[in-house]
């Protein structure tokens, strides 16, 4: 399938040179590679520059509240396992305001693909530090530098036993598309943390900065089935930035274990009949 | 004819279970009852009391006084003895001097003969059943229903209680209704049953008293009726999950109390913006903040009505009794779907936890109707627009993945397709479209109830809403000629015509409300300029009784 068909022909409100353009292209390539019919995909986003992607891709869209992306996506997937549900937003949305939902939906192991546009800043609100900003990172809101250590989303997800954890770099469109496709195909909760520069607000982590530091895990002999090794990669620190699949495991999904979710999707079931209700109500008489 | 039985004990002594068993036995005898559960916010210790009014006519309110008192420990004896009416009977395992008290050695039997100390309460219950003139078989049947496979020692405890108990002090009236004509349920069960009848398929909720009763009821029934009930990580998740599920085609409910509802408020506004139905059960308890977690109150009317930034229509109902809870929750599901709005079912701890005998629930009076655009019609639309501008404001609603038409919703202001826009002309048309739905909704509201029916000319009108219904009704009967009960169930959109007529004719309107500031009065005044002449308020966490209302109204 042609990736172009997934790209909506609308005016795009991202800044020129924004990494979001490349991620949109990677997402379209992944959908094309998997030959997913647009009407069988729901793209759930929150609020932020990244979250506007729901309007720029030709699939169903739920552009909800800031921070609540994963919660809304989980609601959709639980009642409609027949749909491919992708939750996509920025690092502020997914890791800051929405951190609790990320944690608990990994626990639930809802079969979602979460794509985090991680540029380490808040773009839409003009450049404040995000949860992944480096300690000491200076902004107008953090003039003395961000006092807190950055969140490590990869280590968090692996620690919580998310069954698929990967990191991508938006400067590599093909590779990012391939990682997103793997994440969608993998059953259970998948996280793809996509590092991308913000040309407007982040003058430190630029394309060049990333290119000097990224290393590709498949070239390093990393075994994604080894959770301890994956955790070691995620927490190694230092100058190198790992790109690729850190962890790939198997765990029953919420839909596998919940007795109510066997059979027809709840979102498509018919309304109750008198035949069903009468004995229930008679039980109280 | 009326007898009031009060069972009081520490939390963990089984007060609720004993009360439920007695209520079932009374119900199976064809008698009306109201059973009120009052408890402290703790699992062990604390004070629990179950007040059961047994009557030959419908009762929907509780009583401050008791005719038959069963304190399960010395502290409860001290606490509740003053509530015993003169001539009443006290049954307890404590040493009690004076008339009208009888010691029943329940604890020794439970401990030594049954090796089950907690069964002491059932021994006392057996003694009480004998005093009430309730046939032993009837209570035994109820014990079997309530205790299930743990019934056997409790049946022995019951038998011992009958043996030890006093000669019958009361003669219960004959059955007032035939089996099947009436139902025994709590308000919480009414909400849950209404949700099932309304086609609910998804519940997300974070536990919070008293909303939890509905969460647990639906979790237990969801397995059979195809309802996914998920305990969310917080209330914010709950409403966002519910909106996701609703967008995807599953009718959805969240159930909470004031504090949890406060967390949901941004989600409520999202429901208004993306025109996605959701039903919110808001079980009130006294605030502010954590307030009195297990007590009752009516402090959230204006909060429920005004919650959510921006302007959008909503449907707000406050059931009067458990049957109402059933019908109005089902109606909330229907209207939420029909108008694509959030609907709030406003109850309180008193309604949620109290048992009452009501007319048998009729599923034909709560039909679930489909409001999604049929698939064939959807496929005929060349470019499907989720927010198409229509005269009614209601756009044909489709869910994703049932046809090739894409469904896009956006929390930002959006164009008819659902795409984010800053076109201010579209913005204006979208605001107007959303608000037009409120006009259709207004036409769905039933008139308020006036009792006795007829003219209110020159009468004093006791105005109430929600669970104060039974107490106000009885107060009006106590007050006699010249007093009328006006009750509102559907509070928003506010139906004004009957209110204007009442104010024009009545000698006085007295608002009775479980809040300090008279919130319904403020609501009506805001819409019509009409104000109640007097307030009868209660904000100590306890439900109203008829006597107290009548006393305050007389002044």
Are B193 and A52 a contacting pair at CB < 8 A?
A: no
Share of chain B above pLDDT 70, in %: 99
> What are the beta bridge partners of residue B176?
none
Alpha-carbon gap, residue B189 to B185, rounded angstroms: 6
Q: Specify the 3-state DSSP secondary structure of B237.
A: helix
Residues in A touching B222 (Cβ below 8 Å)? 260
Q: Are β-strands A84-90 and A41-45 bridged in parallel, bridged antiparallel, or unpaired?
A: parallel
Residue B43 has pLDDT above 80, yes or no: no
Say which CATH number the domain at A210 has: 3.40.50.970
CB pairs under 8 A between A and B: 191
For A100, name the nearest residue in chain B, comparing CA atoms only: B233
Nearest-CB residue to B240 (from A68, A79, A282): A68
Residues in B touching A282 (Cβ below 8 Å)? 180
Q: Answer whether B273 touches A (CB < 8 Å).
A: no
Residues 6+ apart with CB under 8 A from B308: B265, B266, B268, B269, B272, B314
H runs (alpha helix) in B382-518: 424-442, 469-479, 497-505
Alpha-carbon gap, residue B22 to B6, rounded angstroms: 11
If DSSP states are collapsed to H, E and C, what string results for chain A?
Answer: CCHHHHECCCCCCCCCCCHHHHHHHHHHHHHHHCCCCHHHEEEEECCCCHHHHHHCECCEEEECCCCCHHHHHHHHHHHCCCCEEEEEEEHHHHHHHCHHHHHHHHHHCCCCEEEEEECCEECCCCCEECCCCCCCCCCCCCCCCCCCCCCCHHHHHHHCCCCEEEEEECCCHHHHHHHHHHHHHCCCCEEEEEECCCCCCCCCCCHHHHHHHEEEHHHCCCCCCCHHHHHHHHHCCCCCEEEEEEEECCCCCHHHHCHHHCCCCHHHCCCCCHHHHHHHHHCCC
Are B180 and A285 a contacting pair at CB < 8 A?
A: yes
Q: What is the mean pLDDT of chain B?
A: 96
Are A79 and B250 a contacting pair at CB < 8 A?
A: yes
Task: Please report where in the chains the tokens 């107060």 appear, as a residue.
Answer: B475
Nearest-CB residue to A72 (from B222, B226, B241): B241
Alpha-carbon gap, residue B254 to B186, rounded angstroms: 19
For residue B412, the tally of other CB atoms under 10 A from its CB is 17
Q: How far is CA B178 from CA B133, B183, B386, in A?
A: 20, 11, 51
Q: Identify the residue among A51, A52, A59, A64 best suited for mutation to test binding to B, counting B beta carbons within 10 A and taking the highest.
A: A64
Q: Answer whether A63 touches B (CB < 8 Å).
A: yes
Residues in B touching A52 (Cβ below 8 Å)? 420
- The CA-to-CA distance between both ends of chain B, in Å, stands at 28
Alpha-carbon gap, residue A101 to A107, rounded angstroms: 10
For A279, name the nearest residue in chain B, comparing CA atoms only: B363
**Exposure of B448 in the CB half-sphere (CA atoms within 13 A):** 29
Q: Answer whether B33 touches A (CB < 8 Å).
A: no
Are B226 and A62 a contacting pair at CB < 8 A?
A: no
* pLDDT, tens digit (0-9, with 9 covering 90-100), for B281-320: 999 999 999 999 999 999 999 999 999 999 999 999 999 9
Query: B211 near B188, Cβ under 8 Å?
Result: no
Alpha-carbon gap, residue B85 to B132, rounded angstroms: 16
For B224, name the nearest residue in chain A, comparing CA atoms only: A260
Q: Identify the residue among A43, A55, A72 best suited for mutation to test binding to B, counting B beta carbons within 10 A and taking the highest.
A: A72
Nearest-CB residue to A271 (from B180, B199, B410): B199
Q: Answer whether A148 touches B (CB < 8 Å).
A: no
Residue B533 has pLDDT above 90, yes or no: yes
Residues across chain A? 285
CATH code 3.40.920.10 for B2-164: yes
**Exposure of A277 in the CB half-sphere (CA atoms within 13 A):** 24
Task: Delimit the domains of chain B by residue range.
Answer: 2-164, 183-365, 375-442, 449-554
Task: Please report where in the chains the tokens 């007097």 appear, as a residue.
Answer: B534
Instruction: Check residue B39 and give its pLDDT.
Output: 86
Q: Are β-strands B278-284 and B251-256 bridged in parallel, bridged antiparallel, or unpaired?
A: parallel
Q: Answer whether B408 touches A (CB < 8 Å).
A: yes
Alpha-carbon gap, residue A169 to B146, rounded angstroms: 61
Are A285 and B227 a contacting pair at CB < 8 A?
A: no
Are A63 and B237 a contacting pair at CB < 8 A?
A: no
Token output for A53: 């992607």
Chain A neighbours among B 207-236 (CB < 8 Å)? Answer: 221-223, 225-230, 232-234, 236
Residue B44 has pLDDT above 70, yes or no: no
Are A266 and B250 a contacting pair at CB < 8 A?
A: yes
Instruction: Check residue B45 and give its pLDDT.
Output: 65
Alpha-carbon gap, residue A246 to B433, rounded angstroms: 49
Alpha-carbon gap, residue B304 to B265, rounded angstroms: 9
Q: Specify the 3-state DSSP secondary structure of B10.
A: strand
* pLDDT, tens digit (0-9, with 9 covering 90-100), for B358-379: 999 999 999 899 999 999 999 9
Query: A234 near A152, Cβ under 8 Å?
Result: yes
Q: Specify the 3-state DSSP secondary structure of B255.
A: strand
Are B244 and A82 a contacting pair at CB < 8 A?
A: no
Q: Answer whether B389 touches A (CB < 8 Å).
A: no
Give the architecture (CATH level 2) of B183-365. Answer: 3-Layer(aba) Sandwich (3.40)
B366 Cα to chain A: minimum distance (Å): 10
Nearest-CB residue to B400 (from A72, A83, A277): A83
Are A75 and B245 a contacting pair at CB < 8 A?
A: yes
Token output for B27: 């119900």
**Exposure of A125 in the CB half-sphere (CA atoms within 13 A):** 15
Nearest of A170, A164, A184 to residue A243 by alpha carbon: A170
Q: Answer whether B423 touches A (CB < 8 Å).
A: no
Query: B280 near B264, Cβ under 8 Å?
Result: yes
Are B196 and A44 a contacting pair at CB < 8 A?
A: no
Q: What is the DSSP letter of B409?
A: E
Q: Answer whether B243 touches A (CB < 8 Å).
A: yes
The maximal CA–CA distance of chain B, rounded, in angstroms, is 86
How sure is the predictor about B474, in pLDDT bands with cuts at 50, 70 and 90?
Answer: very high
A4 Cα to chain B: minimum distance (Å): 17
How sure is the predictor about B97, in pLDDT bands with cuts at 50, 70 and 90?
Answer: confident
For residue B63, the tally of other CB atoms under 10 A from its CB is 23
Instruction: Check residue B270 and give its pLDDT.
Output: 98
Q: What is the CA radius of gyration of chain A?
A: 20
Q: Give residue B308's region: left, alpha or beta (phi > 0; psi -120 to 50).
A: left
Q: How far is CA A205 from CA A128, A202, A212, A217, in A?
A: 14, 6, 11, 21
Instruction: Check residue A183 and give its pLDDT.
Output: 98
Are A64 and B181 a contacting pair at CB < 8 A?
A: no
- Tens of pLDDT, residue by residue, chain A (285 residues): 799 999 999 999 999 989 999 999 999 999 999 999 999 999 999 999 999 999 999 999 999 999 999 999 999 999 999 999 999 999 999 999 999 999 999 999 999 999 999 998 888 888 898 999 999 999 999 999 999 999 999 999 999 999 999 999 999 999 999 999 999 999 999 999 999 988 888 888 889 999 999 999 999 999 999 999 999 999 998 899 999 999 999 999 999 999 999 999 999 999 999 999 999 999 999
- Of A25-34, B62-71, B97-106, B481-490, the one with minimum mean pLDDT is B97-106
Nearest-CB residue to A58 (from B197, B242, B406): B406
Residue B250 has pLDDT above 80, yes or no: yes
Alpha-carbon gap, residue A167 to A115, rounded angstroms: 10
CATH code 3.40.50.920 for B449-554: yes
Query: Looking at the 3D structure of chain A, how many domains does it have?
Result: 1
* pLDDT, tens digit (0-9, with 9 covering 90-100), for B160-187: 999 999 999 999 999 999 999 999 999 9
Q: What is the CA radius of gyration of chain B?
A: 25
Its pTM stands at 0.97
* pLDDT, tens digit (0-9, with 9 covering 90-100), for B407-434: 999 999 999 999 999 999 999 999 999 9
Alpha-carbon gap, residue B209 to B284, rounded angstroms: 9
Instruction: Check residue B263 and give its pLDDT.
Output: 98
Residue B510 has pLDDT above 90, yes or no: yes
Q: Answer whether B412 touches A (CB < 8 Å).
A: yes
Q: Identify the residue among A58, A111, A272, A283 best suited for mutation to test binding to B, counting B beta carbons within 10 A and taking the highest.
A: A272
Show the CA angle centred on residue A97, arms to residues A94 and A102, nearest 5°: 45
Chain A neighbours among B 479-508 (CB < 8 Å)? Answer: none
Q: Identify the residue among B383, B400, B423 best suited for mutation to test binding to A, counting A beta carbons within 10 A and taking the highest.
A: B400
- Within this chain, domains B2-164 and B183-365 share the same CATH topology: no
Q: What is the DSSP letter of B152?
A: H
Are A268 and B249 a contacting pair at CB < 8 A?
A: yes
Chain B neighbours among A 37-56 (CB < 8 Å)? Answer: 37-40, 42, 44, 47, 52, 54-55
Chain A neighbours among B 336-365 (CB < 8 Å)? Answer: 360-364
For residue B314, the tally of other CB atoms under 10 A from its CB is 25
């Amino acid at each position: 399938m042609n990736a172009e068909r997934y790209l909506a022909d609308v005016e795009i409100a991202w800044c020129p040179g924004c990494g979001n353009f490349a991620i949109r292209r990677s997402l379209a390539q992944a959908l094309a590679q998997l030959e997913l019919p647009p009407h069988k995909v729901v793209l759930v986003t929150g609020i932020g520059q990244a979250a506007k992607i729901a309007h720029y891709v030709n699939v169903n869209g739920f552009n909800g509240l800031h921070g609540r992306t994963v919660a809304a996506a989980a609601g959709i997937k639980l009642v409609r396992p027949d749909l491919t549900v992708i939750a996509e937003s920025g690092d502020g949305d997914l890791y800051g305001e929405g951190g609790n939902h990320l944690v608990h939906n990994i626990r639930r192991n809802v079969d979602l693909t979460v794509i985090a546009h991680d540029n380490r800043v808040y773009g839409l609100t003009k450049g404040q530090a995000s949860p992944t900003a480096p300690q000491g990172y200076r902004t107008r809101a953090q003039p003395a530098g961000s006092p807190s250590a950055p969140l490590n989303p990869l280590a968090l997800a692996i620690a919580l036993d998310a069954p698929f954890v990967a990191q991508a770099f938006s400067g590599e469109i093909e590779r990012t598309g391939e990682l997103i496709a793997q994440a969608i195909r993998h059953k259970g909760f998948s996280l793809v943390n996509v590092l991308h520069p913000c040309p407007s607000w982040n003058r430190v982590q630029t394309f060049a900065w990333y290119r000097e530091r990224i290393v590709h895990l498949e070239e390093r002999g990393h075994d994604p089935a080894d959770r301890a090794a994956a955790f070691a990669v995620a927490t190694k620190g230092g100058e190198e930035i790992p790109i690729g699949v850190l962890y790939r495991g198997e765990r029953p999904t919420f839909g596998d274990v919940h007795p109510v979710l066997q059979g027809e999707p709840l979102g498509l079931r018919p309304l109750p009949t008198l035949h069903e209700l009468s004995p229930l109500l008679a039980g109280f008489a | 004819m009326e007898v009031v039985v009060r069972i009081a004990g520490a939390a963990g002594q089984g007060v609720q279970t004993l009360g439920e068993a007695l209520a079932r036995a009374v119900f199976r005898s064809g008698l009306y009852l109201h059973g009120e559960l009052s408890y402290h916010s703790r699992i062990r210790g604390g004070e629990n009391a179950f007040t059961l009014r047994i009557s030959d006519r419908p009762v929907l309110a509780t009583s401050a006084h008791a005719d038959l008192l069963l304190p399960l420990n010395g502290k409860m004896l001290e606490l509740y003895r003053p509530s015993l009416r003169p001539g009443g009977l006290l049954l307890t395992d404590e040493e009690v001097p004076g008339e009208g008290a009888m010691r029943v050695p329940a604890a020794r039997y439970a401990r030594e003969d049954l090796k089950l100390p907690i069964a002491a309460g059932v021994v006392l219950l057996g003694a009480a059943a004998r005093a009430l003139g309730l046939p032993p078989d009837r209570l035994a049947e109820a014990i079997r229903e309530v205790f299930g496979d743990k019934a056997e020692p409790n049946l022995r405890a019951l038998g011992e209680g009958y043996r030890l108990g006093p000669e019958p002090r009361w003669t219960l009236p004959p059955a007032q209704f035939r089996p099947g004509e009436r139902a025994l349920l709590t308000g919480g069960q009414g909400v849950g049953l209404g949700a099932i009848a309304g086609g609910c398929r998804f519940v997300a909720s974070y536990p919070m008293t008293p909303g939890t009763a509905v969460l647990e009821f639906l979790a237990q029934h969801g397995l059979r009726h195809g309802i996914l009930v998920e305990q969310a990580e917080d209330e914010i998740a709950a409403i966002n999950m519910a909106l996701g599920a609703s967008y995807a085609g599953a009718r959805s409910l969240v159930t909470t109390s004031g504090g949890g509802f406060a967390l949901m408020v941004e989600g409520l506004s999202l429901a208004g913006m993306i025109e996605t139905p959701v039903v919110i059960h808001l079980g009130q308890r006294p605030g502010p903040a954590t307030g009195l977690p297990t007590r009752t109150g009516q402090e959230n009317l204006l909060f429920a009505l005004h919650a959510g930034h921006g302007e959008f229509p909503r449907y707000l109902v406050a059931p009067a009794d458990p049957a109402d809870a059933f019908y109005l929750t089902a109606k909330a599901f229907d209207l939420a779907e029909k108008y694509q709005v959030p609907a709030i079912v406003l109850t309180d701890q008193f309604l949620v936890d109290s048992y009452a005998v009501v007319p048998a629930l009729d599923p034909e009076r709560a039909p679930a109707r489909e409001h999604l655009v049929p698939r064939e019609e959807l496929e005929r639309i060349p470019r499907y627009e989720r927010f198409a501008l229509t005269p009614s404001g209601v756009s044909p609603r489709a869910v994703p993945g049932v046809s090739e038409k894409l469904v896009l919703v956006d929390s930002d202001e959006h164009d008819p397709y659902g795409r984010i826009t800053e076109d201010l002309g579209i913005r204006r048309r979208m605001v107007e479209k959303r608000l037009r739905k409120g006009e259709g909704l207004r036409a769905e509201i039933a008139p308020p109830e006036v009792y006795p029916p007829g003219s209110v000319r020159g009468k004093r009108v006791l105005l109430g809403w929600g669970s104060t219904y039974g107490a106000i009704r009885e107060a009006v009967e106590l007050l006699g000629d010249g007093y009328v009960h006006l009750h509102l169930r559907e509070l928003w959109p506010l139906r004004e015509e009957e209110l204007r007529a009442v104010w024009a004719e009545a000698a006085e309107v007295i608002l009775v409300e479980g809040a300090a500031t008279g919130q319904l009065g403020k609501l009506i005044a805001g819409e019509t300029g009409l104000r109640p002449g007097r307030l009868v308020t209660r904000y100590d966490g306890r439900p109203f009784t008829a006597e107290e209302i009548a006393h305050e109204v007389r002044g």
